[in-house]
Amino acid sequence: MKKFWLIVLISLMTTNIAFAEDSGQMLSGKDLVNFAEGEYFGVKDKQDNIIIPAKYKKMIRLGDCAWIVQNKKSKFGLIDNNGEILVPIKFTHAERYFNRFAKLGNVNIFGIYDETGKIVVDPIYAKIDVLYGKMFLTYKDYKYGIVGFDGKQILENEFDDIYMPKQNVMRIQYRGKWIELE
């Protein structure tokens, strides 16, 4: 029963645009269907053509044209709708943010990637979290910094603490002193 609901959930998540493997034409996401073979998942079109073989333990839609996947060795990476690898499947941790970004990493090294596999936040941080205002909070060498969704560094990792108690308020601790910005 759990597999059934998982398949239904994944099918509902595929209402985006995809590309057909053979023809290179664009297919509407409604023309793609997740399928399972045993414990593994793949993607077919409505004509039952396999676009991505069922070889992944997990498949999570990322944007219009990519998937966060987990292989048989429990490693994560990023593939496009044709099954081509965009980001190597070698990470032990994966999270999806806003259906457009994938946080991938191992133990204490994380980065953020977009749906094309482009690095948005370099994979050099011990922690990365989301802040209000289209920003990522980064943590490296015991210091905090901020990177925008566009990948541009807003604040270098020089601060003792950064948090946002409200959407329009940021509190920053620098050398033991607190600064509040609105």
Distances (CA, A) of 172 to 2, 62, 136, 155, 157: 44, 32, 14, 11, 12
pLDDT band at 31 (very low <50, low <70, confident <90, very high): low
d(CA 136, CA 154): 10
pLDDT given for residue 63 in this prediction: 87
H helices, E strands: number in the chain: 1, 20
- Dig out the tokens for 19 from the structure: 């590309």
pTM: 0.81
Instruction: Tell me which residue has tokens 């070698």.
Output: 90
The predicted model gives 72-84 an average pLDDT of 94
